[in-house]
Structure 1
Amino acid sequence: MNPLISTVDFNERPFIAIWEVTQACDLACVHCRASAQPDRHPMELSTEEGKDLIDQIAALKVPVFVLTGGDPIKRPDLFELIDYARSVEVRVSLTPSATPLLTREVVVRLKTAGLARLAVSMDGASAETHDAFRGMSGSFARTLDAVRWANEIGLPVQINTTFSRRNIAEIDDLVALMDSLKITLWSVFFLVPTGRGKLNDLLNAEEFEQVFATIYDLSKKANFDIKTTEAQHYRRFILQQGVAERKAGSAPKLHPDKAADAIGRAPRGLNDGKGFVFISHTGEVFPSGFLPLSGGNIRLQELAVIYRDSPLFQGLRDTSRLEGKCGACEFKEVCGGSRARAYSLTGNPNAEEPCCVYVPKGFVPPLQAARAATLHVLRRA
């Protein structure tokens, strides 16, 4: 376990930093927050600018650093950047796309360069569903190949799955598939309608709870860890389940062979801009890849200055600014709701989480017509 986990002050430094090294990608995923396209942007951060960013990550002692895209493999200096990160003791995870560019040779080179974890996406339990999600035939098979190749060389593997209306019917089959693979972590994403992500694909609040229940049950018996992204209220769900189980005298026992997560897990309370920072391919600094509000650009300011002093980031870390149910919720310090989803549906990053069924004790919902913008998510069958 990473010893830095318990020492992270979210006001001082992020727990997770993600650098979108490029938006270039040969896939056309239906939920892509970046609306990626095949060609690299001429204003991408250069190799030297990338190394300077890595130096800043090292100075901040950020426990989790992820290179994402687009498809990071589209950058010819990718291996150089990973090797440089290793030289300054920054542990790197990578989220490549499952295209013909992702070969066994590339996976081996990634590990040789110093990659700490390979994260690949699996958005369906079948090739038909996954490939439709990704917009490329053969992506499902390539993902399984990548997992196998990483297993063969001892490179830890993470699977990312985004749940939406397009694949929710396959959740049980996806759980079975995860259980059959040798992975360290299953990272369960919940759709934020931004980029190519469509509002009609968003699960409603009751369906969120159903997914929570499924992955919580799996977490008690799986030999890998499970985390959620843009479902901060899963923490509330876990706390509620723990209370119920203790009252019933049936506290769960973890799987005795659960894989150790060497990268580390965030303490409770992490949220968009609160322990989390996203650096775009052109250096813009966002609270999340799903929350398109910039706090500054690393070409003009140090990352630490933007993260600590930007009014945007400071405001997102201030839970007294939360509105609606989130503002009144007794779980707001450990949850806080998805600020990205709130912004996507209302234009207000401090609005209440639109996909949460929980009503705080004593909370009386406002009657303003403005809340109608999110009611379809709460009530849709």
Structure 2
Amino acid sequence: MFRISQYLRELDAAIRSGAWPAVRTPRPSGPVVIWNLIRRCNLTCKHCYALSADHDYAGELSKAEVDTVMDDLKAYQVPVLILSGGEPLMRPDLFEIAERAKAMRFYTGLSTNGTLIDAHCADRIAATGFDYVGISLDGLKATHDKFRRLDGAFDRSLAAVRLLRARGVKVGLRFTMTALNQQDLPALLALMREEQVDKFYFSHLNYAGRGNIHRGKDSQFAATRQAMELLFERAWQSVQEGREEDYVTGNNDADGPFLLQWVAARWPEWAEALRERLVAWGGNSSGVNIANIDNLGNVHPDTMWWHHSLGNVRERPFSAIWSDTSDPLMAGLKAHPRPVGGRCAGCRHFAICGGNTRVRAQQLTGDAWAEDPGCYLDDEEIGLAAGADAARVALAPFGRRESEHA
């Protein structure tokens, strides 16, 4: 996750004080765990990485097994649990799991489509004490309902936002941009402010599950750059106006170098200080600071790697699986620097982005260490000779053979 607002608040403090603020380095801990407790979902969204549908899936972890895993996660110093699905609210014991997580002092988030949240459910969410609830909106009504394949989905999700806000729950909107919904981003940002939503999470399209099918229609680089500039401008405006809004992005670590470039064009005297902060961030953290456990107990480097299991928590504790680098993918992800190739290897911003998103490279080339084809920076921006783009991996459409294995 790339925290735009955090860096711009630091920039604002530097401009005001004349010195970049000292930032406390957090103590080493385990990874943030995104936990897909259930695969069943009441929707069949076009870009679902879990390929969920509205039916039961056999073999999911029981409550007793979840408790055992949770004990191990706590001992391994995992700080954050994001409870997800499918649609997690369809799991009957979700609130029992969340209450236990809160009692164990995990930062506990809920990732939901929001359509099942009525007043009673909102009361339970508030009473449970979730630290954060992310609700997915793919655009305004017509766009969102088309993506979610359900008429009325937008109205129900927006109603959920309002119900939770009325109960003092911290809420964020989650938006995955493709060429099919990019036109709705400005209006969605306006809606966020109208509804006094706390956070906006902008996700670049990643190639997993149904999202893989849309990669041939991925929002191309010019549109991505425009979207990021809009987010930077909105976040900076928010900082200047003293608003408690957070703008973050995910699934494309080129956002770090692009923000550095945006800042350098406006406040060149602060570019080096920001660069130092971004190098400390280090870019993509799949397999290092972000982890995924799926509904069957399989562990993955992140949620987009469901086609690659590192092990199962029924057979080995998560802590043992996560510490094991005998898997070549895990060894490469934990390596510093990572063994990337192509234009990523020669990029002058490699220390910032860490080679960007490895699953995109793997899905398009079969090689997890090839260049990330989703990088939207051009040759000059990354320090390569002009014209090197001609040899880039293309954003090819999803093929029939690949779809059989997604």
| TM-score under structure 1 length normalisation | 0.86
CA distances 1:176-199 after superposition (whole Å, capped 9, x unpaired): 122222222111111123211222
Structure 1 consecutive aligned stretches of length 4 or more whose deviation exceeds 6 Å: 364-369
Gaps of 5+ in 2: 1-5, 7-22, 272-279, 399-406
Aligned-partner SS, 1:162 = strand
342, 352, 361: which is aligned to 2:383? 361
| Partner SS, residue 118 of structure 1 | strand
Among 247, 253, 256, the alignment partner of 1:232 is 253
Change (3 A) 1:363 1:63: farther
CA distance in 2, matches of 1:136, 1:171: 20
- Contact 2:35 2:82 (8 Å CA) reproduced: yes
Query: Could you tell which deviates more after superposition, 355-364 or 107-116?
Result: 355-364
* Greater Cα offset, 176-185 or 134-143: 176-185
Distance 2:98 2:270 in 1: 47
Alignment of 1:194-343 (within 5 A): 194-197=208-211, 198-222=214-238, 223=243, 224-247=245-268, 267-291=281-305, 292-310=307-325, 311=327, 312-318=329-335, 319-335=337-353, 336-343=355-362
Q: Do the aligned partners of 1:271 and 1:338 also contact (CA within 8 Å) in 2?
A: no
Matched-pair contact (CA < 8 Å) for 2:284–2:357: no
Letter in 2 for 1:308: S
Contact 2:137 2:173 in 1 (8 A): yes
Corresponding residue for 1:151?
165
What amino acid does structure 2 have at the position aligned with 1:122?
L
Aligned to 2:192: 178
Give 1:329 shift: 1.8
Q: Is the 8 A contact 2:287 2:334 kept in 1?
A: yes
Q: Which amino acid aligns with 1:327?
A: A
Instruction: Call closer, same or farther: CA 1:249–1:322 in 2, change over 3 Å.
Output: closer
2:368 matched residue in structure 1: 349
Contact 1:277–1:286 under 8 Å retained in 2: yes
How many corresponding residue pairs?
355
Contact kept? 1:22, 1:72, Cα under 8 Å: yes
Kindly indicate which of the two structures has a greater share of residues assigned to helix: 2
The answer as to whether partners of 2:371 and 2:393 remain within 8 angstroms in 1 is: no
What's the counterpart of residue 26 of structure 2? 7
1:167 Cα deviation from its structure 2 partner: 0.6
Listed as ranges, the matches of 1:84-233 within 5 Å are 84-99=100-115, 101-124=116-139, 126-197=140-211, 198-222=214-238, 223=243, 224-233=245-254
Task: Give secondary structure in 2 for the equivalent of 1:326.
Answer: helix
AA at the equivalent of 2:262: Q
Alignment-mate amino acid for residue 378 of structure 2: Y
Contact kept, 8 Å, 1:157 with 1:182, in 2: the verdict is no
- How far did 1:50 drift? 1.1
**Cα RMSD after superposing both structures:** 2.7
1:51 aligns with 2:67: yes
TM-score (norm 2): 0.81
Query: Residue type of the partner of 2:197?
Result: I
Deviation of 1:172 after TM superposition, in Å, equals 1.7
Distance 2:397 2:43 in 1: 31
Identity among equivalent pairs (%): 29
Asked if structure 1 preserves the Cα contact closer than 8 Å seen for 2:373 and 2:394, the reply is no
AA paired with 1:159?
L
1:333–1:62 Cα change, 3 Å: farther
* CA distance in structure 2 between the partners assigned to 1:175 and 1:287 by the alignment: 31
CA contact (8 A) 1:219 1:225 kept: yes
The answer for unaligned runs of 5 or more in structure 1 is 251-265
Residue 264 of structure 2 contacts residue 270 of structure 2 at CA under 8 Å; is this kept in 1?
no
Partner-residue secondary structure (3-state), 2:237: coil
